Every structure is written in structure tokens, then in C-alpha cells.
Amino acid sequence: MNELAYLSNGPARGDIVVFDTEGIRLFAHSQMNIKRVAGLPGDTISISGGKLLVDGRPAPELDGIRYVIMPANPISGAEGALHEEGDTFTVPAATYFMLGDNSPNSFDSRYWGPLPAANIKGRAAMRFWPWSRIGGL
């Protein structure tokens, strides 16, 4: 992980970031996690036809990743977003909307809501899985 990556600027859409789950209600304890930045502060996002839309247009930084709508989970409460086709979510200031690349099986902002910017620890620098894509990011 590159801990210096965001000293002067915040993450960009498409960045894979490492973050702490401190203060996110649905995590029983603080732990490090990794997800891709899908929504920046102020973006209005939605998922349609497997594509992430930002302000109504496909996000080219996320081309090649197929996203799915995840039905609301009664355990998660109302903090998450994008649970039905046509849902939109505007990312609040000083937060990011995080999605996993394995969309059907990812516990991400669709469940626990936007990630506070203060929780971000750095940008992922190396990929170890899948083996066919091992290397630097």
C-alpha cells in the first residue's frame, strides 16, 4: 500500500484503496479493508445494465466491471444504497462510495453507506489475486 498517495489529493474514481472500518456501524470491530472507489464526493451514482453511472453517464474508469443491484438487507438498515434498478445516490461531502470488483459477493457501500475520507489509509500498490493479474497497480 502507498500511504503517501493521497497527501495532496484525494482518491480518484477507479482507485483501489485500503481503509479502516472504524466507525462503520455494520463492522463488529475495526479492520483494514480494500475496495475500489466508485463515487466521489458530490457524484450522483446509479447502476443500470451492469454499468456504474455517474451523473447519468457510464464511468469509463470502471469499464469492464459488471455491477449488480443488491437487494436491501434487513440487517444493514437504511445506510446503504442502490438496492433497486433506478435508485440513485448522491455521495456526501468528505465521503466516497466504495464497490468491490466481485460485485455479487461484495460487502461494500451498497450495504454500509459511504466511506468517510478520514478512514482511507492509502492506495493499493500490488495485486496478488487473481494469479493471472498479479503485479503492480
Residue whose C-alpha cell is 466507525:
23
* Spatial separation of the C-alpha atoms in residues 97 and 81, rounded to whole Å: 9
pTM for this prediction? 0.89
Summarize the confidence of residues 92-104 as an average pLDDT: 95
- For 31-88, how does the pLDDT look when each residue is reduced to its tens digit (9 = 90+)? 999 999 999 999 999 999 999 999 999 999 999 999 998 877 666 555 678 888 889 9
DSSP 8-state assignment for residue 74: T
Task: Assign domain 16-127 to a CATH class.
Answer: mainly beta
Contacts for 6 with CB less than 8 Å, ≥ 6 apart: 120, 122, 123
**In the chain, where the domains are located:** 16-127
What was the pLDDT predicted at 20?
Answer: 97
Cα 63 from chain centre: 15
Vertex 92 angle, CA 88 and 97, to 5°: 65
What was the pLDDT predicted at 52?
Answer: 95
